[in-house]
Amino acid sequence: MKLNYKKMGSGPALIVLHGLFGMLDNWQSIGRELSKDFEVWLVDQRNHGRSPHRDQHNYDAMADDLEAFIEEHALEGVVVIGHSMGGKTAMRLAQKSPELLLGIIVVDMGIKEYPIHHDTIVEALKDVPVESIDSRSEAEDYLAQNISEAGVRQFLLKNLHRKQDGGYEWRFNLKVLEREMNQIVDALPKEKVEIPVLFIRGKNSDYISDSDIPNLQELFVNSKIETLDTGHWVHAEKPKEVIRQIRSFIG
């Protein structure tokens, strides 16, 4: 599978992976800043953005996609940065093919299984009659019936794409993501990783709790955990601090 990407800058290679319902544009401003020192590859994961849609959506498949991407572009000494679902993809690749990586940076995601809490979002997305609406504002009106947070609505609406023959469509593969949600929230195998790992967690997020840290450090034996005063969207809330942490980790 050939993943869609945007390349910026030159220098050591950084690959950046978005989270569930996201796309590479979510990291564009941070990518632009990092491109002053690095060769930044912003990537759409399968079933997201402009990357191909497939029936399978799990971390082995996404890690394999990423491995193929690294080989396709002949990248060496790569650092992968992943937020949420993208962080789990990065961790799975580090378990399966550590020789491809210089290290990974995981933004607010642990290795454990998470309860499904995207039901409201999925149902809200399904309620939008994308084939018949006339505008993005109309789509937002539908989303607002179930999603009160304007920021979440705007995040989702970035994925709304006008078709050439009329109407709209979601860039993500909503049908498959809904069906595979158990795979998306599932735990990763308990396989040790020895390459350097930086976890950046949000202080006000419950994705990496204090009680999760011993298990993470046992499995990721060369890891460091930094906590920023944010929720789950660490890179959106504290972009300058995230950039500083990335630069410090890579040296």
Out of 18, 57, 84, 235, the active site residue is 84
Q: Is there a contact between 131 and 174 (Cβ–Cβ < 8 Å)?
A: no
Residue 247 to residue 70: CA distance in whole angstroms: 21
Residue 247 to residue 200: CA distance in whole angstroms: 13
Residue 57 is among the residues annotated as catalytic for this protein:
no
CA distances from 86 to 46, 136, 137, 143, 151 (A): 11, 27, 29, 25, 20
Residue 177 to residue 171: CA distance in whole angstroms: 12
Residue 47 to residue 173: CA distance in whole angstroms: 5
Out of 18, 48, 83, 232, the active site residue is 232
Both tokens of 11, joined, read 């220098």
Q: What are phi and psi of 43, to 5 degrees?
A: -125, 135
Residue 232 is among the residues annotated as catalytic for this protein:
yes
Residue 63 to residue 178: CA distance in whole angstroms: 20
Active site residues: 84, 232
